[in-house]
Amino acid sequence: MLMRQSSKKEYARYLLDRLHQEIDRPITVMEVCGTHTVAIAKSGLRDLLPEKMHLLSGPGCPVCVTDDHDLDVVMALARQDGLILATFGDMMRVPGTESSLLQEKSRGADVRVVYSPSDALQLAKENSDKQVIFLGVGFETTTPVVAAALDQAVQMELENLSVFSLHKVVPPIMRVLLDDPEVKIDAFLNPGHVCTILGTEPFRFIAEEYGKPCVVTGFEAADILEALLLIVRQYRNESPAVDIQYKRAVRPEGNPVAVGFIEKYFTPIQARWRGIGEVPESGLELREEYVQYDARKRFPITVKPGKCRKGCACGEVLKGLKLPYECPLFGKVCTPVKPVGPCMVSTEGSCAAYYRYGRQK
């Protein structure tokens, strides 16, 4: 059992000390959560860790992994008359192949920023002469909230609201990374928020099939250090498992009510991840019985695939093959003010985190 110290700082120091003492071989650990990416960068943890420990950021930011061609389709839709496209603000500046929602809005498309799916519901109620499309982007943490708004729309028999689902699910992308011979990962820091919903069962394959340690982690520096220590111990003892460090929020069974909501409205499909490609069962579409709320089916539109942005290494950054500053555009052509790729747009993107909090090892 780990000893709790009186203050968080002291406890973090104690954990760092233990890490330096207990690590006995090189280990590469990937976090698959944008909030962890920011927490690690902000706390400067990378520079304090033992030389043998290497932290990588993975595809943990839902905005960053949204495929550029999918966004091109959304933008083509936003240009149609009689439609309002409602989106979270962080999607506004994410580039497709040619444009962004912000640019489309400046050219006249009716794109509105909302703070929750309920705001989109409200927009639909207030604009009964228009079709309101909510752009659903997010992992398992966001999807239940969208499902809850859909539930309300169904109960109200609202006919002018639909969802363009670009929702993604996390476990399949972790399998893709583990199967990729180029990607070298020894262990995972599991996403705390996603595991609050899913629990640990969907991640057991990582330990059982691939023999890799993984620990569900909270978001304070001490949480991350504690999780890294648990990983080092699993690795050293060759006893891979899915441990929960973030016990104050995560239960092994997750949140069955939230999962029930997701399953009621959505079903898994193959989805495109930016820079990674098609991944089976990694996206969510609306179930057949709710087809009238599925914007893709209700407003089918075809857009020719465009060319990826030249020089942007987002795909390699998202797979942990490159650190953000290894992209030739980082900090020169690509900055948060003038982002080239989504990893620099989103506040939870790796490139934005490295830019804001400085280069770390």
Give the footprint of ligand SF4 on this chain (CB under 6 A): 312-314, 317, 324, 327, 329-330, 334, 340-341, 343-344, 351
Question: CB 263 → ligand SF4: shortest distance, Å?
Answer: 34
The token duo for 177 is 């990374």
Shorter beta-carbon distance to ligand SF4: residue 220 or 316: 316
Shorter beta-carbon distance to ligand SF4: residue 213 or 315: 315
CA distance 243 to 230: 8
Are 164 and 133 in contact by the 8 Å Cβ rule? The answer is yes
Shorter beta-carbon distance to ligand SF4: residue 65 or 329: 329
Question: CB 166 → ligand SF4: shortest distance, Å?
Answer: 19
Question: CB 63 → ligand SF4: shortest distance, Å?
Answer: 11
Question: CB 353 → ligand SF4: shortest distance, Å?
Answer: 11
Shorter beta-carbon distance to ligand SF4: residue 258 or 327: 327
Short-list 201, 198, 174, CA closest to 262:
198
Shorter beta-carbon distance to ligand SF4: residue 224 or 334: 334
Rounded to whole angstroms, the maximal C-alpha distance in the chain is 66
CA distance 240 to 167: 30
Question: CB 351 → ligand SF4: shortest distance, Å?
Answer: 3
187-190 and 131-136 beta bridge pairing: unpaired
Neighbouring C-beta atoms of residue 47, cutoff 10 Å: 10
CA distance 313 to 327: 6
Q: Which residue is nearest to ligand SF4 (CB)?
A: 341
Question: CB 314 → ligand SF4: shortest distance, Å?
Answer: 4
Shorter beta-carbon distance to ligand SF4: residue 266 or 355: 355
Q: Report CA-CA distances (Å) from 105 to 78, 93, 100.
A: 9, 11, 9
